[in-house]
């Protein structure tokens, strides 16, 4: 147990420090917003660009890993959407946002640092492979489903245009895309430029964890707790179980691949779930509360999964 705490506790202590700083008024909401803009629009895109541009794509992009992981996440999306509609009677737009909460684990701000501390920097190749497709698949699925629900005669072309605009305006996706361009095109940037990118990238995860703590302070638990419990059960328990079954039972992935897929799948809903709900003005309270409570529960569930994994 002490070994597990050595892995997970520093991550949650940094997050808690951000929460406490905002709670005590020594770090303002404006500071949090600025910090999160820096991490999400600059530092994390730099991190993903640098990592993907250097990946051995042939060795890292194992289709069995990706099918294992995304079977679990896509299944969680549709289970979440169906549960929100059929069990809780939410409108279809709310149901899509709740399904997105079940899909979109916090792979960047929690998954990466926990994997790094648990298994070392060398374990992150499969994680970067998953993350490189996480935002594209998640936003494509969520936005496409939401726009279809909301289309009301807008027409196929207008709907597709809205989907493409939403995806292409995401800084993280731009970093991912440029990383693939540099890798596939064998484009080598000058050493000093890559060193500058790496300097920015290294600030990304600790700054984002601190900022995430500040963001979570805003999202005090309010109502809709049955829906939130359903999201946490689907995301923290069902999703990693499905991924485990696919990775180990169907594809017999390597230990490295199994660890990456299951740990990342077991993360709490990410802040992007609230961003998505806020973008459409639906189920915002559910999304915000699921981020807060899911992150708190993740302390316990992560320890369980790290114990079960080889």
- What pLDDT sits at residue 263? 92
Q: What is the pLDDT of residue 194?
A: 93
Neighbours of 90 (CB within 10 A): 21
| Cβ-contact 43, 203 below 8 angstroms | yes
Tell the residue number behind the tokens 């890559």, with chain if given: 194
Asked whether the whole model's pTM tops 0.85, one would answer: no
Q: What is the pLDDT of residue 207?
A: 86
The Cα 65–Cα 60 span in angstroms is 9
pLDDT mean values, one per 10 residues, the chain (310 residues): 60 84 92 86 86 77 91 96 95 94 87 84 84 80 82 66 71 83 90 93 83 77 82 95 94 91 91 77 83 84 87
Q: How far apart are CA 145 and CA 163, in angstroms?
A: 10
Taking alpha carbons only, the member of 273, 266, 310, 301 closest to residue 139 is 273
Q: Identify the residue whose tokens are 């050595």.
A: 6
The token duo for 8 is 């997970």
Pure H helices in 169-265: 171-184, 191-218, 225-233, 239-244, 255-265
Environment class of 30 (CB within 10 Å of its CB; exposed 0-12, middle 13-18, buried 19+): exposed
Q: Is 105 helix (H, G, I), strand (E, B) or coil?
A: strand
Q: Domains in the chain, start-ordered, CATH in brackets?
A: 2-308 (1.20.1530.20)
Count of CB atoms situated within 10 Å of the CB of 47: 27
Q: Are 79 and 95 in contact (CB under 8 A)?
A: no
Cβ-proximal residues to 208 (8 Å cutoff; 6+ apart), any chain: 36, 39, 40, 43, 44, 108, 109
What pLDDT is stored for residue 52 in this prediction?
Answer: 82
Residues 6+ apart with CB under 8 A from 232: 268, 269, 290, 293, 294, 297
Q: Which two tokens stand for residue 30?
A: 């404006």
């Amino acid at each position: 147990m002490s070994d597990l705490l050595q892995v997970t506790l520093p991550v949650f202590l940094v997050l808690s420090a951000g929460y406490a700083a905002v709670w005590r008024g020594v770090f303002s909401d404006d500071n949090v917003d600025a910090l999160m803009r820096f991490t999400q629009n600059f530092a994390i895109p730099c991190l993903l660009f640098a990592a993907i541009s250097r990946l051995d794509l042939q060795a890292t992009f194992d289709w069995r890993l990706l099918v294992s992981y995304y079977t679990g996440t896509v299944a969680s999306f549709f289970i979440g959407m169906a549960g929100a509609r059929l069990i809780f009677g939410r409108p279809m737009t709310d149901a899509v946002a709740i399904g997105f909460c079940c899909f979109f684990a916090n792979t960047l701000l929690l998954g990466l640092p926990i994997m790094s501390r648990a298994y070392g920097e060398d374990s992150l190749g499969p994680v970067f492979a998953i993350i490189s497709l996480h935002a594209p698949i998640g936003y494509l699925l969520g936005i496409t489903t939401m726009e279809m629900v909301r289309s009301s005669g807008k027409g196929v072309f207008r709907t597709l245009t809205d989907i493409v605009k939403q995806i292409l305006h995401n800084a993280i996706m731009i970093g991912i895309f440029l990383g693939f361009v540099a890798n596939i095109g064998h484009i080598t940037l000058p050493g000093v430029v890559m060193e500058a990118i790496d300097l920015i990238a290294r600030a990304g995860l600790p700054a984002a964890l601190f900022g995430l703590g500040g963001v979570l302070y805003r999202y005090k638990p309010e109502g809709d707790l049955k829906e939130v419990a359903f999201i946490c059960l689907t995301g923290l328990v069902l999703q990693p179980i499905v991924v485990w079954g696919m990775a180990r039972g169907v594809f017999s992935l390597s230990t490295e691949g199994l660890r990456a897929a299951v740990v990342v799948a077991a993360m709490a809903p990410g802040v992007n779930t609230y961003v998505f709900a806020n973008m459409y003005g639906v189920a915002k309270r559910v999304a915000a509360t699921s981020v807060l409570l899911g992150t708190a529960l993740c302390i316990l569930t992560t320890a369980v999964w790290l114990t079960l994994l080889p």
